[in-house]
Amino acid sequence: MMQWFPENISTYGQGVDHVIQVIYWIVGAWFVVVEGLFLYFILRYRRKDGVRAAYEPGTSGKALAWILIPAVVILGFDVGIDLVQGPVWNEIKLTLPAKPDQIIRIKGKQFVWDITHPGRDGALDTADDIQTLNQLNVPLNAKIVFELTAEDVIHSLWLPNLRLKQDAVPGRTIKGWFQATKEGDYPLACAELCGSGHGTMRGQLHVLNPADYQKWLDENSPQSPEVSSLGH
Amino acid sequence: MDTKESFLRKYVFSVDHKTIGLQYLITGLVMALVGGLFAYGFRSQLAWPNEPVLGFGQVDPDLYNSLVTMHGTIMVFWVAMPILLSGFGNYVLPLMIGAKDMAFPRLNMMSYWTFFLSTVVLLSSFFFPGGPAKFGWTGYPPLSAQPGFSGVFWGGHLWILAIALEFASMLMGGINFLTTTLSLRAPGMSLFRMPILVWMLDIASIIFMFSVGPLIAGAFMLLADRLFNTGFFLPAAGGDPLLFQHLFWFFGHPEVYVLLLPALGILAEIYPAFSRKPLFGYKMIIYATIVAGALSFIVWAHHQFISGIDPRLATPFSITTIIISVPFAIAVFSYIATLWRGSIRLTAAMLFALGMMAEFLIGGVTGIFNGSAAADIYLHDTYFVLAHFHYTLFPITVMAGLAGLYYWFPKMFGRHMNEFWGKVHFWTTTISFNVVFLPLFAIGLAGHQRRIFDPSLFDYIAKYQYLHVIATIGLIVMIIAQVPFLLNFFISMRKGKVAERNPWRATTLEWVTPSPPGHGNFETDPVVYRGPYDYSLPGLKDRDFINQAETL
Ligand code: HEM
Ligand SMILES: [Cu+2]
Ligand SMILES: [Cu+2]
């Protein structure tokens, strides 16, 4: 099953994949047993001349135990699954890193991602902020906190390689975080129907090593020295 | 007497629950073809995004969104609900409890015609400027709240109006089911002697009634936002888009059980009849269903894990969601245990009923993935979800619906459908169904998001384009596979082998009536002496069942 997944490049992606695998094995085993039994009964108890069906209304406690005991086992597995998945959820969605390396602002609108990166000073809302459309640039291994919102309708920030999805809701700013562990370009999409451009609302996540990131900052910061010296 | 008028009374404005049931069934079948045709339209677009689709032309994003929205809306509200709940409910419920008709026959007629009107309103939206609704069958605002965001004005109003009419119709139907069950049972038909299908229809009606209120409120607020700029769901006016989602899913999740329960009810009649065994654990199934029904009201937010609700809500909703698997496991195991040491006959009805369970199990177990919040971060709004819910809804709607049709056809029309073609229909439908939807799990795991009209625009999913092609070929086969069924259905209605009263040698009351039953149903008022599933009772000579209306 895991061969279908895109490569994981986030610190917490492993956890998500693990949860999916655990569930896969548990429900997979149940599925095979139940489906197998079902098929076996159908084949084994086909009508034969002279053989009468048993009268078994399943009212005695003993008969019901055949149903109730597996049900209790299922309950046990359910609790187990929740114990595995709970902490992963909490890590991804409940807690933000205490000291993020960077804060990025992302706004969805029909039909682009409007992204504000802090410039060289590392802070938002200063003159050197870098604004991009659909291009999300982050340094490798940096703890990124994002502030996500939407301008018009609901969009959903979808970064499959990070195992990250979060709806962007107009009127709210939702914070989240990630830490990308591998350099490269990865897809970024919108996962919530947002109008006629939904299917084309795509972008890129660029995970850059520190040198490349610095280069990108230098080339794109609005107040870069070249630009200001040209101005004088 | 004026014959023309009596024709209208008999076939059009009928107050007979059987005619009304058939009207619902036929309308539902017609809408299934419409919904399926739309699926063919966008399914083909997904497979060959750069080519025009035969019959639809070039499917641009707007048309794509319209087709997807209308497909979802139609399948849930104009196919599953009318066929399973209203169609079978109207036809068999009074028969099964030994009543002459519904408690309120005129209300019943009105409920059908309200439903019919809703159908007309819904389909008419295609002919208005801007086209039909295209904001998804869930209609999330703000996209749906301001015509400017989606480009539909009339289509959106009509969509809301159609759904309001449909719900009004279902509410009338629900009241009728419950009142009929409570007040018109034959002597001896105690609650715990009622067939499971009657229980399921009643519990489903109750779930529907309890859940629909918030949605109606939501729909009115949405309409007000669209018409009067009230801004309930518009942040710029101080509203909150997530409010609608809560209202919608408080209804939307229980709605799944509104559809599932009648389907399980149909199975509960068919499994015993064709394995000649009592339904295993009759009372336990009823209790488990009631528990599941109650639980279904506290799971709604699992549709909203990543919608921006407080992340602390995820854990309680994850737990309730996964726990709901327990009562359903009890029901499913009981059904399977009914087969154990039976004497199984694989008629077309039984094949569809067994196939329903086999496929539904796939839907059931894949729901656990979505129900666990952490996995849902990745899977939400991908094709994995889509595959999951089609593996639940398709067996519920199509396979259980067809099982019921093959089973009660002799009662409805006094003739048999052709078994051979029924079996061909079963195997071709089932195999092609899996060809359509199994690949979608894989595409979903690869991260393919829903509701996009051209997957080839995204590199990471473009490489799996062949899976879309396979799925679409599967769908074309599935559509062709319905042709023998339709021919079988209409030809058998007139020319099929004549059916006796009780061709399946079944135990419930509808089988003591003539096939088809006349007005008033029973020739002599039935009296009930026993529970509904006395098959293979020890001590019986020369036969293996006793009808509920028989004494030993
Ligand atoms: C005839 C076979 C069917 C096929 C091939 C089919 C195919 C599809 C596909 C491909 C989509 C997703 C389109 C997209 O997200 O871009 C879809 C959506 C949907 N389908 Fe089906 N479907 C079928 C039957 C059913 C049935 C029987 C039901 C329910 C009773 C159903 C309910 C839905 C719903 C609720 C949606 C979601 C619509 C939305 O996203 O707004 N479908 N279907
Ligand atoms: Cu979007
Ligand atoms: Cu979108």
Task: Take residue A178 and report the two structure tokens written for it.
Answer: 């990630």
What average pLDDT does chain B have?
95
> Between the CA of residue A10 and those of A17, A164, A204, A208, B32, what are the distances in Å?
11, 9, 15, 14, 44
Using a pLDDT cut of 70, give the percent of chain A over it.
96
Do B368 and A81 contact (CB within 8 A), yes or no?
A: yes
pLDDT(B16) > 50 = yes
List CB contacts of A219: < 8 A, sequence separation 6 or more: none
Average pLDDT over residues A118-137: 93
Instruction: Quote the longest CA-to-CA distance of chain B.
Output: 77
Q: Which of residues 117-146 of A touch B (CB under 8 A)?
A: none
pLDDT of residue B1: 41
DSSP for A105-136 reads EEEEETTEEEEEE--TTS-SSSTT-EEEESEE
Distance (Å) from the C-alpha of residue A26 to the closest C-alpha of chain B? 10
- Rounded distance, CA B376 to CA B230, Å? 34
Mean pLDDT of B470-483: 97
With 0-12 / 13-18 / 19 or more C-beta atoms within 10 angstroms meaning exposed / middle / buried, residue B132 is buried
Q: Do A38 and B322 touch (CB under 8 A)?
A: no
The answer to whether the beta carbons of residues B258 and B81 sit under 8 Å apart is yes
Question: Given 3-state DSSP classes, what are the helix, strand and coil percentages for chain B, each rounded to the nearest 5?
Answer: 70, 0, 30
- What confidence category does residue B189 fall into, taking pLDDT thresholds of 50, 70 and 90? very high
Cα B439 to Cα B464: distance, rounded to the nearest angstrom: 10
Contacts of A167 in chain B (CB under 8 A): 306-308
Looking at residue A175, its pLDDT comes to 96
A92: nearest CA partner in chain B: B374
How many other C-beta atoms can be found within 10 angstroms of the C-beta atom of residue B338? 29
pTM metric for this prediction: 0.95
Over the stretch A172-213, which tens digit does the pLDDT of each residue have?
A: 999 999 999 999 999 999 999 999 999 999 999 999 999 999
Q: Are the CB atoms for A93 and A177 separated by under 8 Å?
A: no
* Arithmetic mean of pLDDT over chain A: 93
- Is A22's Cβ below 8 Å from some Cβ in B? no
Give me the mean pLDDT over the A82-100 stretch: 94
pLDDT at B250 over 80: yes
Output the pLDDT for position B12. Answer: 83
Q: Does residue A59 have a pLDDT over 60?
A: yes
Q: Region B320-346: what's the mean pLDDT? A: 94
**CA B133 / ligand 3 centre spacing (Å):** 16
**Is pLDDT of A228 > 50?**
no
- Measured between alpha carbons, how far is B92 from B513 in angstroms, rounded to an integer? 12
Q: Which two tokens stand for residue B360?
A: 């539904």
The answer to whether residue A225 scores a pLDDT higher than 60 is: no
Q: What is the pLDDT of residue B4?
A: 55
Here the ipTM equals: 0.94
Assess A5–B contact: CB distance below 8 Å, yes or no: yes
State the CB neighbour count (10 A cutoff) for residue B48. Answer: 15
Q: Give yes or no for residue B36 CB within 6 A of ligand 1.
A: yes
pLDDT at B193 over 90: yes
Read off the pLDDT of each residue in A209-231 and give the average, rounded to a whole number: 75
Q: Can you give the pLDDT at residue A227? A: 46
**In the prediction, which pLDDT does A229 show?**
43
| Residue in chain A nearest B443 by alpha carbon | A4
Cβ within 8 Å, pair A167-B308: yes
Q: Which ligand is nearest to the CA of A170?
A: 2
Region B38-61: mean pLDDT is: 95
pLDDT, tens digit (0-9, with 9 covering 90-100), for B51-96: 999 999 999 999 999 999 999 999 999 999 999 999 999 999 999 9
